[in-house]
Structure 1
C-alpha cells in the first residue's frame, strides 16, 4: 500500500499537481480552492456536502484540514466518482463519502444533514441552491462557485429567494507565473465568482 500524499500543514493550498485528473473534468485550482475553503468556515466536527464535486479537490482538502469532519462528495458521472475515490485513497482519507447522483434529485438520500454546503456545478444552479437550502442546518452556510454570468445571476437569485443572511459575492482574478520557452509570463486563470450566504 502506498504512503498517503503528505500535507502536514494547518493551512489550505495543496498543489494542483497532487491530484489525479481526467481531461475535460473541471478542477478548482489551488487559489480558488483556498478562497472557497475560507468562505466555508468549516468547524472541526461539521458535515460538508460538496455538490458537483468534479475532481474532488475541495472535498478532499476540507477532509484533510478537518479530519473529524464528515464530507459527502456528490458527482453524477461514474468515471468521475472513481476519480474522486482514487484521489481520496491517494490522500489516505476515510472521512469522505462519494455518492453518484444528480442534484437536486439525490439530495434526500444524503445523510447526515449538512452544516456546510459547497455547490461547484449542476444545472440549473438556482434550483440546486434552493433545494440544498432545505437540507442545510440552522445557522448553516452555503458557498457556490460559477464561471458564467448566467450562473452568477442564478445563484444571486437563489440566495435572495431563500433570504440568506450575510451574502457575499467575490470574483477571483488570479495570475500565475509560467515559463513559455525562454520567457516568463503571467497567465490568468478563468475568473470565478464565489457566492456565500448563511441560514
Structure 2
C-alpha cells in the first residue's frame, strides 16, 4: 500500500488532514479491500481518497457541506481516479443514509459532534470501527463522553508532528491532533 503525500493533493483554501495523522487514522480503521467506509466532513478528501486506495474493491462515501471544500474534493476524486468514491453534499447531522459501514472517519462536525456520533454509530457493522480527529480539547471531551454514553470502548492518542525547514534543520511543528478510536463494547 502506498500512502499519498500531502503535496500530491489539490489543496485550495481548505483544511486537510496532514500526511502522518492521515496514515495513523487510516491504520486505526483497519481497512479491508472490500470495505464500505464513510468520511464525515471530508474537506479536501485526503482521507476519502486514501480510503479508496486501501479498499480498492470497496465503496467509500464522503460527506461535505462547504462549497469550497466540495470543489476541491471533486478535483481530487478526478485526479486520483477514485471511481469507488461517492460524494454527498450536505450536513452530516441532517442526512439519513441507509448504508452500514465497516469503518467511519469523522474529521469535521461543525459543532454537532455528539449528534453526528450518535447518528453514525448506529450505521456501523458488527466489529466496525469509528475513528475521529480533533484539534480542540472541547470537541475531544464531547466525543469521548458521547462514545462512553453509547457504550463504545475508546482509545485516544495525541500526535504531534514537526517538519524540518531550511538549511539550519529548524523544526516547525503542526498543531497536535487527538486521534480517537471507538468500537462498540460487547454486551
- Compute the TM-score of the two structures, normalised by the length of structure 2: 0.93
Q: Give yes or no for the alignment of 1:193 onto 2:178.
A: yes
For the aligned residues, what is the CA RMSD? 1.2
Q: Give yes or no for the alignment of 1:116 onto 2:116.
A: no
2: distance between equivalents of 1:73 and 1:101? Answer: 10
Pairing partner for 2:23 from 31, 34, 54: 34
- Give yes or no for contact 2:160–2:174 (8 Å, CA) kept in 1: yes
Q: Give yes or no for the alignment of 1:16 onto 2:6.
A: yes
Query: Which residue pairs with 1:4 in the alignment?
Result: none
Q: Tell me by how many angstroms 1:111 deviates.
A: 4.4
Which stretches in structure 1 are left out of the alignment for 5+ residues?
1-9
Q: Structure 1 pair 111/67, CA: closer, same or farther in 2 (3 Å)?
A: farther
2: distance between equivalents of 1:188 and 1:80? Answer: 24
Pairing partner for 2:64 from 61, 72, 75: 75
Q: Tell me by how many angstroms 1:65 deviates.
A: 2.2
Pairing partner for 2:163 from 149, 163, 176: 176
SS in 2 for 1:138: strand
Write the mapping of 1:42-121 to structure 2, written as runs, cut at 5 A: 42-106=31-95, 108=96, 110-121=97-108
SS in 2 for 1:197: strand
1: distance between equivalents of 2:93 and 2:86? Answer: 18
Deviations 1:157-184 (A, max 9, x none): 111011113x1101001111111xx432
- Give the count of matched residue pairs: 183
2: distance between equivalents of 1:178 and 1:60? Answer: 27
SS in 2 for 1:73: strand
SS in 2 for 1:87: helix
SS in 2 for 1:115: strand
- Compute the TM-score of the two structures, normalised by the length of structure 1: 0.88
- Give yes or no for contact 1:81–1:99 (8 Å, CA) kept in 2: no
Q: Tell me by how many angstroms 1:37 deviates.
A: 0.4
Deviations 1:109-166 (A, max 9, x none): x34311110000112212211111112122211000110010110110111011113x
